Amino acid sequence: MITSEELLARVRDLLAAHPPGESDRTDFLRARFDAGLAWVHYPEGLGGLGAPRSLQAVVDAELEAAGAPGNDPRRIGIGLGMAAPTILAYGTEEQKHRFLRPLWVGEEVWCQLFSEPGAGSDLAALATRAVREEDSGDWIVDGQKVWTSSAHTARWAILIARTDPALPKHRGITYFLCDMHAPGVEVRPLRQITGEAEFNEVFLTGVRIPDAHRLGAVGQGWEVARTTLMNERVSIGGMRIPREGGMIGPVSAVWRERPELRTHALHQRLLELWVEAEVARLTGERLRQQLAAGQPGPEGSGMKLTFARLNQEISGLEVELLGAEGLLYEDWTMRRPEIVDFTGRDAGYRYLRAKGNSIEGGTSEVLLNIVAERVLGLPAEPRDDKDTAWKDLAR
């Protein structure tokens, strides 16, 4: 097992061969990946060294101190947090070597083609079809996806589609890697309450996907998708942040800098939310320690639940604290952002954008069921459609 001292030696070798101030950013990131310092817990040859996940912090701190460029994780978060761990778990060796390096470096942005107009909270009810062509073995995909972040900048997508409508809805699904530049892929912006179009709807019309881009076995899509979803909730709710990071930071700063806005009632609410935010931050640290020893489980759903609730309550308190000033929103435009900036914008933006936190990455209602069943051990919600063929379900 590699030690932290050996890792640091590798970092120093990388910095000596590719001085950050003199090297091209992309070249440096490629060299970092090839040295096994991208995600150290991944296998050798795939950006890692098979080391404990906890040692990644040692690498990151040394590189940050040296002024090394990062891979802009907010821009490629879907690839890092969702596509990569799923490809690692279910991909062929060819798929891993083809996709993981450009994904981590940021040369290829990813998006997620899961939710549909009639299959959001009940994702397994999806209707997008993938039919295998006999002659070529390729899959022809038709359907519509919705709430797709980054589809307008993505090169690749993780996609689930129905391949056998005669099976119950969870069993007739297959998982694919879809080329967003393929003929038949159409991306349309969805204007949000913030005025932006960060999300999209995606129409798939006769899109051809080679069987080599199928992830997992035919019909195994729901199992593969669950791996994606568990990692997604951890990446949304379990991000590493400093004390007073995230939403609690701006409102705390306003409180300190604007004493004329303070009231006793608002002070009590701020203290309560500050403590909750700190508890959530420390819980996230513990979750990451657990991840160092294995794979994410339902704990990520609990963290994502807390993230959504706190963001909405904190942003609401900030608007109330600022009064009429909190309603100002200086850049109401139909922008197509590559990343979501929760803390560098107006209070009015934070308040509006936080409304989506309880929907994206799994609705809070669905996550409550997951926590109830898989963490607390409560009886599962009654379902009368588990054994019915998808084609026979009422829609």
Question: What's the CA gap between 182 and 79, in Å, rounded?
Answer: 19
Six token digits for residue 245? 């990071």
- CA separation (Å) from 300 to 41, 310, 339, 346, 367? 19, 15, 22, 29, 9
In total, the chain counts a number of residues equal to: 395
Asked if residue 341 lies in contact with residue 250, where contact means CB atoms within 8 angstroms, the answer is: no
Residue 267, amino acid: H
Q: Of the candidates 345, 350, 341, 344, which has an alpha carbon nearest to the alpha carbon of residue 77?
A: 341
φ, ψ for residue 35, nearest 5 deg: -80, 0
Residue owning tokens 């596509």: 83
Choice among 116, 232, 299, 318 that is catalytic: 232
Residue 337, amino acid: P
Question: What's the CA gap between 191 and 133, in Å, rounded?
Answer: 36
- CA separation (Å) from 268 to 78, 258, 315, 357? 37, 16, 15, 24
Going by DSSP bridges, is the β-strand pair 156-162/173-179 parallel, antiparallel, or unpaired? antiparallel
- Give the number of other CB atoms < 10 A from CB of residue 311: 23
Confirm whether 325 is a catalytic residue: no
Strand, helix or coil for residue 387: coil
Name residues whose C-beta falls within 8 Å of residue 112's C-beta, 6 or more positions apart in sequence. 78, 82, 83, 148, 149, 157, 158, 228, 232
For CA atoms 248, 249, 250, 251, give the dihedral sign: positive
Q: Which residues are catalytic?
A: 232
